[in-house]
Amino acid sequence: MEHKKIIIAIDGYSSTGKSTMAKKLARQVGYRYIDSGAMYRAVALYALRHGMADTGGSVDEARLTAALPGIAIDFKVTPDGQRTMLNGEDVENEIRSMTVSQAVSPVAAVAAVRHAMTDLQQQMGREKGIVMDGRDIGTTVFPDAEMKVFVTASAETRARRRFDELKAKNMNAGYDEVLANLRERDHIDETRAESPLRKAADAFMLDNSDMTLDEQDALLLRIFNERTR
């Protein structure tokens, strides 16, 4: 039996493993995966490089807004996985740095940035058959998505995961610095005026603080099968 194609929106807090679970689900069901967080990170990297933002949280909104038409973001699938492209340059590794992590939430809170990224994400999802993860996919980008999941976990659990991830990539950061950065990002994401982070009324709440990856993947696949019957 042919499954109908749907849009899968996975929202939630930083370092809950949203991207990992979204990528895995996309592979399992043969959908395209779109990392909306990488798009905002790419804009933040552009802003940092051009002196429009810093790691202290300040953003030159007027200059960044004016620069947006010249910022092209896309994804390229390679044997090493999906890579984020900024104006044709592979910036996948650079956008995962602690420096970009410290600038991304203030940049992502700029209304013009959110509007530009939302438009781009909606274009990418026109044909359906996509899994997109982020902060406002089920509430703002695709409010009619057929499958919505909101992922959460304790701040300490998330900081430990992020710290281990950075250590594995030989990126310098202390656990306390990572935890403070996560809490700061949570606060900015939840309180920004434009598309704040919140659970959509019809989203499935997934707290993965104490779940194994296999349990989580099996649950997502079960929800997918229910939604596409």
pLDDT in tens, 201-225: 999 999 999 999 999 999 999 999 9
pLDDT in tens, 63-115: 999 999 999 999 998 888 889 999 999 999 999 998 999 999 999 999 999 99
Query: What is the predicted pLDDT for the residue at 129?
Result: 95
The domain that holds 126 is classified in CATH as: 3.40.50.300
DSSP letters for 10-55: EEE-TTSSHHHHHHHHHHHHTPEEEEHHHHHHHHHHHHHHTTSB-T
Query: What is the predicted pLDDT for the residue at 2?
Result: 60
Is 14 a known ligand-binding residue? yes
Pairing between strand 81-86 and 89-90? antiparallel
- In this prediction, residues 15-32 reach a mean pLDDT of 93
Q: Could you tell me if residue 25 is inside a domain?
A: yes
Structural domains counted in the chain: 1
Q: Could you tell me if residue 35 is inside a domain?
A: yes
Q: Could you tell me if residue 2 is inside a domain?
A: no
Q: Could you tell me if residue 1 is inside a domain?
A: no
Q: Could you tell me if residue 46 is inside a domain?
A: yes
Q: How far apart are CA 131 and CA 24, in angstroms?
A: 10
Query: What is the predicted pLDDT for the residue at 77?
Result: 86
Query: What is the predicted pLDDT for the residue at 7?
Result: 97
Average model confidence (pLDDT) for the chain? 93
Q: pTM for this structure?
A: 0.87
Q: How far apart are CA 64 and CA 49, in angstroms?
A: 12
Is 16 a known ligand-binding residue? yes
Is 209 a known ligand-binding residue? no
Closest CA to 210 of 156, 149, 148: 156
Encoded amino acid at 67, one letter: A
Is 58 a known ligand-binding residue? no
Name the residue range of residue 116's domain. Answer: 7-228
Query: What is the predicted pLDDT for the residue at 173?
Result: 83
Is 19 a known ligand-binding residue? yes
Query: What is the predicted pLDDT for the residue at 4?
Result: 85
Is 36 a known ligand-binding residue? no
Is 5 a known ligand-binding residue? no
Q: What percent of the chain has pLDDT over 70?
A: 99
